[in-house]
Amino acid sequence: MREKKIIQTSLIAIVMNLLLVAFKMGIGLIANSLSIILDAVNNLSDALSSIITIGGTTLSKKTADKEHPYGHGRYEYIAALIVAFIILYAGIQSVIETIKLWLHPSQPKYSWWSVLIVTVAIFVKIFLGNYVQQVGIQLDSPSLKNSGQDAKNDSLLSVATLMSALSSLWLHFEIDKYVSVVIALFILKSGYDILNETLSRILGERISSSLTSSVIEAAKHVPGVCGVYDLFINDYGPNRWIGSLHVEVEDTTSASRIDQLSRKVMRQVYIETGVTLSAVGIYARNSHSEEVNEMRTGISKYCLQLGFVKQVHGFLVDQENKRIRFDIVVPFGIKSLNQKQMDLKEWIKKEYPGYAIDLTIDPDTTD
Ligand SMILES: [Zn+2]
């Protein structure tokens, strides 16, 4: 239902934009006004990006297969990349045309007809923008919300072309070449912005902290789980996540109980957040040992006040073999980490003589 409505609204926007393009292109050529022609180009790039977005969304729904076991969700990013290149190309062409106009100035010849059509186009664009944005809010669709806002921003460019026509007709003062510069740069910038955002998504961005905290909450609520750590989430397209995490359980928990518990964690996380967990790792926690509790508190406290440790977890002491093992989460870009790690181990050895230390450094991948 939702997908259908999104596509339907996008189709309305595409048809309206193409009509605007046809009218503006005609008027722009008749009036010999580059600013109106570029305004039409800008609307054309909007229509094209909606078409490609629909195509990308449709392709990305294809189910997983042998060659692409993680599904086809990233088609949406490829679609966005194509949109970015088309808009960049349109922007570069617009800049070239604007430079030509500055080198060989030509007088536009506006008529009141052109003023009327440009005015109607402005209202159509605002109305369309509001409609698309409203549907976007109703369906919680970021792409519709964005394109609605985009349409409203574009109407400002059309207002500038209207000013150019009015100024020419009333004051006999030509501002066409200035307005053309503004619109050409605007098209170039929107292409650049989409390219930038899409490349960042393809590279793999930090997952939003609202998603990671709901995954952690969902897992924590499963009975028997003492703590949730080391969450990794990969993004295989919008709203398609595959990840893994560690849960901490009491060291007395039996294997069959752990089996049950990890299945429950996977199910609960999927139901509440849509994230598929490919694995649930286990950390054991020493139960009923005052001595270990004291060690945990002391070492955690010391680590956290060092300034470069974000979290201490997976703390387990093997009292029989005299081993302490734990993980620390360290943010990216910490300098001379090896030295810091050695200093930390030195301190622990002094505090708790006779213990071997098994320290793992975890990257700070999620909040
Ligand atoms: Zn860890």
Hey, what amino acid is at 350?
K
Taking the model in full, what pTM does it have?
Answer: 0.75
What's the CA-to-centroid distance between 328 and ligand 1, angstroms?
Answer: 7
In this predicted structure, the answer to whether residue 141 has a pLDDT above a threshold of 80 is: no
Tell me which of 256, 285, 314 is where a domain ends. Answer: 285
Pair (12, 84) in one structural domain: yes
What's the CA-to-centroid distance between 311 and ligand 1, angstroms?
Answer: 9
Number of independent structural domains in the chain = 3
Hey, what amino acid is at 344?
L
In this predicted structure, the answer to whether residue 154 has a pLDDT above a threshold of 90 is: no
pLDDT of residue 280: 96
55-77 average pLDDT score = 85
Pair (13, 110) in one structural domain: yes
Q: Residues with Cβ within 5 Å of ion ligand 1? A: 230, 327, 362
Pair (62, 186) in one structural domain: yes
Pair (107, 192) in one structural domain: yes
Domain that residue 275 falls in: 206-285
What's the CA-to-centroid distance between 219 and ligand 1, angstroms?
Answer: 16
In this predicted structure, the answer to whether residue 238 has a pLDDT above a threshold of 80 is: no
Pair (99, 53) in one structural domain: yes
What's the CA-to-centroid distance between 364 and ligand 1, angstroms?
Answer: 10
In this predicted structure, the answer to whether residue 316 has a pLDDT above a threshold of 90 is: yes
What's the CA-to-centroid distance between 362 and ligand 1, angstroms?
Answer: 6
Pair (26, 6) in one structural domain: yes
Cα(303)–Cα(317) distance, rounded to whole angstroms?
17
Pair (240, 136) in one structural domain: no
What's the CA-to-centroid distance between 340 and ligand 1, angstroms?
Answer: 18
In this predicted structure, the answer to whether residue 174 has a pLDDT above a threshold of 80 is: yes
Helices (DSSP H) in 283-353: which residue ranges?
290-304, 337-351
Pair (173, 278) in one structural domain: no
What's the CA-to-centroid distance between 256 and ligand 1, angstroms?
Answer: 23
Cα(42)–Cα(36) distance, rounded to whole angstroms?
10
What's the CA-to-centroid distance between 365 and ligand 1, angstroms?
Answer: 11
Which residues fall within 8 angstroms of residue 317, CB to CB, at 6 or more apart? Answer: 286, 289, 292, 295, 296, 323, 324, 325, 355
177-195 average pLDDT score = 90
Cα(308)–Cα(33) distance, rounded to whole angstroms?
60
In this predicted structure, the answer to whether residue 52 has a pLDDT above a threshold of 90 is: no
pLDDT of residue 25: 93
Tell me which of 173, 203, 233 is where a domain ends. Answer: 203
Pair (127, 242) in one structural domain: no
Pair (252, 107) in one structural domain: no
What confidence tier does 151 reach under pLDDT thresholds 50, 70, 90? confident
Pair (255, 356) in one structural domain: no
Pair (30, 112) in one structural domain: yes
In this predicted structure, the answer to whether residue 143 has a pLDDT above a threshold of 80 is: no
Tell me which of 285, 306, 333 is where a domain ends. Answer: 285
Give 343's strand partners: none
Query: Which CATH number does the domain housing residue 256 bear?
Result: 3.30.70.1350
pLDDT of residue 54: 84
